[in-house]
Amino acid sequence: MTTAVAPASGERRWARLLARWETLLLVALIGLIVLGTYLSPFFLTPGNFSNLIAALMEVAIMALPMTLIIVAGEIDLSVESMAGLASAILGFLWAAGVPLWVDIPLVLVVGALGGLLNGLLVARGGLPSLVVTLGTLALFRGLALIVLGPRGISDFPAAFTELGFGHVPGTLIPWPFVIFLALALLLGIVLHRTWIGRQVYAIGKNTGAARFSGVRVTRVKVSLFVLSGLIAALAGIILTSRLSSARADAGSGMTLTVVTVVLLGGVNIFGGSGTIPGVVLAVLAVAVMQNALRLAHVTVEVQSIALGLLLILSVVIPTFAHQAKSAIDRVRGGRPPPADSVPHGERALS
């Protein structure tokens, strides 16, 4: 789990791979699928899987930029409101007779601008992102309510609702899932295989050191928030399409699930570590869990108990595993791990 470089013998490498958070998630995912199949014969049917994935895709899509932001040591609580604002503006423009091919790019621009506001206040103004995005969480939702009020707009054309509701022709794979996978692939490559990603980790591990090493911290952070706003707006469009209804309160409460999924994926809340594959696995695990609970007739509201417990356990288990491991190392007389190493979701970059 620690980044301590060991002359990895084959056995050691396997041990390290096994102790990885992503591996644990995969095991949990398989366990949940087995449990689900045991609970209900409908669990493994393609139609059911298609439904369970589609319902979580807005959250999943927003979790991707959130991963990068949390790795960089910040947080964006405003995503759910941006999704709501996107939905409201889309509905407002459509109801006013503006064609969708104009509306959608416009909504995405609004999303990027909202992200820019967050980014400038946080990165340039040096303000705490927790408070700034709490402020814009209220602000964006307020703007959504001002734009659309309490009404719902639902007379969207079938071609548009197909985006959120339809499947890839000939399969049961929902379109939003395709969008999610494409974004995950793109952001995964950016985070894990490019200098941009390396800079994001550097900022999250030690902002000061990153700045002295020539990382343009302000620019990277602002870009991440712009990306987050843009993708939150995209999620708002998909949500509007899937529900075939534009509402100002769209996406309410989603931020909680987004952050939960990201942390469950092994991303350290203090920044500096975490992976996109981990978050993708966490999305799948949450989708399967929610579906298993639904088939067991547990209502969506009560399912939040399981989600909250999972979130807490995702931090507690690695911490205790780490403590147990260092205790064993001490008994064996091995080198103790560095005291400041963070066990949660730790991943060697180099």
Shortest Å, Cβ 77 to another protein: 10
Q: Specify the DSSP element, H or E, that contains 185.
A: helix 175-193
Residue 27 corresponds to which tokens in the numbers above?
């095991």
Single out the residue of 20, 141, 221, 247 in contact with another protein (rule: CB under 8 A): 141
Binding region for another protein (CB under 8 A) out of 31-39, 42-50, 137-145, 203-211: 137-145
Shortest Å, Cβ 6 to another protein: 26
The span from the CA of 20 to the CA of 15, in Å, is: 9
Single out the residue of 159, 209, 309, 348 in contact with another protein (rule: CB under 8 A): 309
Closer by beta carbon to another protein, 11 or else 301:
301
Could you give the string, one character per residue 68-97, with x where binding to another protein holds by CB under 8 A and - elsewhere? -------x----------------------
Which amino acid is located at 73 in the chain? G
Binding of another protein by 319 (CB under 8 A)? yes
Report 99-128 residues binding another protein (CB under 8 A). Answer: 121, 125-128
Residue 279: count of CB within 10 angstroms of its CB = 29
Sign of CA dihedral 46, 52, 54, 56: negative
Report 196-235 residues binding another protein (CB under 8 A). Answer: none
C-alpha pair distances (Å), 348 with each of 162, 223, 269, 306: 41, 25, 17, 30
Report 264-283 residues binding another protein (CB under 8 A). Answer: 269-270
Binding of another protein by 130 (CB under 8 A)? yes
List own/partner pairs for 213-220 with CB under 8 A and 24 or more apart.
217/123, 218/123, 218/124, 219/123, 220/72, 220/196
Cβ proximity of 86 and 232 under 8 Å: yes
Single out the residue of 302, 324, 327, 348 in contact with another protein (rule: CB under 8 A): 302
Binding of another protein by 26 (CB under 8 A)? no
Interior CA angle at 343 toward 311 and 202, to 5°? 100
Nearest to 224 by CA among 83, 62, 86, 66: 66
Binding of another protein by 143 (CB under 8 A)? yes
Q: Which of 14-49 are b and which e, b meaning 16 or more Cβ less than 10 Å from the residue's Cβ?
A: eeeeebbbbebbbebbeebbeebeeebeebeeeebb
Could you give the string, one character per residue 232-261, with x where binding to another protein holds by CB under 8 A and - elsewhere? ----------------x-------x--xx-
Closer by beta carbon to another protein, 88 or else 237:
88
Binding region for another protein (CB under 8 A) out of 34-42, 93-101, 102-110, 131-139: 131-139
Which ranges of 19-128 would DSSP assign to H, the alpha helix? Answer: 21-39, 46-54, 57-71, 79-95, 100-119
Single out the residue of 99, 105, 149, 336 in contact with another protein (rule: CB under 8 A): 149
Which spans of this chain sit near another protein (rule: CB under 8 A)? 75, 121, 125-128, 130-132, 134-143, 145-146, 149, 248, 256, 259-260, 263, 269-270, 299, 301-309, 311-312, 315-316, 319
